[in-house]
């Protein structure tokens, strides 16, 4: 099973879109400050949204669509606006 997920930093309110086959472990790695793109001086990453796929290619396609700055990303942000951390 593959998960496409959205996490948000509790201090900077930045969003990060990713894909993994083990969501729990991946979230731990984001918060241990060992990953280049999610390393921050303080705060932590909070899981906001998850989609699950049986097929890796489907998950790859969805992650790519969300990482591009287009309608898919805009639509998802609008859909999860109440789940996102507020400023």
Residues pairing with 8 in the sheet:
15, 46
Please give the domain boundaries of the chain with CATH numbers for all domains: 2-79 (3.40.1440.10)
Asked if residues 14 and 48 have their Cβ atoms less than 8 Å apart, the reply is no
Distance of CA 22 to the CA centre of its chain: 13
Query: With a threshold of 0.85, does the pTM exceed it?
Result: yes
pLDDT tens by residue, 20-65:
999 999 999 999 877 777 777 788 999 999 999 999 999 999 999 9
């Amino acid at each position: 099973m593959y998960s496409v997920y959205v996490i948000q930093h509790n201090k900077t309110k930045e969003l990060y879109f990713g894909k993994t086959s083990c969501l729990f472990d991946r979230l731990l790695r984001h918060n241990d400050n060992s990953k280049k793109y999610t390393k921050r001086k303080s705060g932590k990453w909070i899981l906001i949204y998850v989609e699950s796929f049986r097929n890796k290619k489907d998950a790859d396609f969805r992650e790519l669509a969300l990482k591009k700055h287009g309608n898919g990303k805009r639509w998802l942000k609008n859909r999860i606006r109440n789940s996102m951390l507020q400023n």
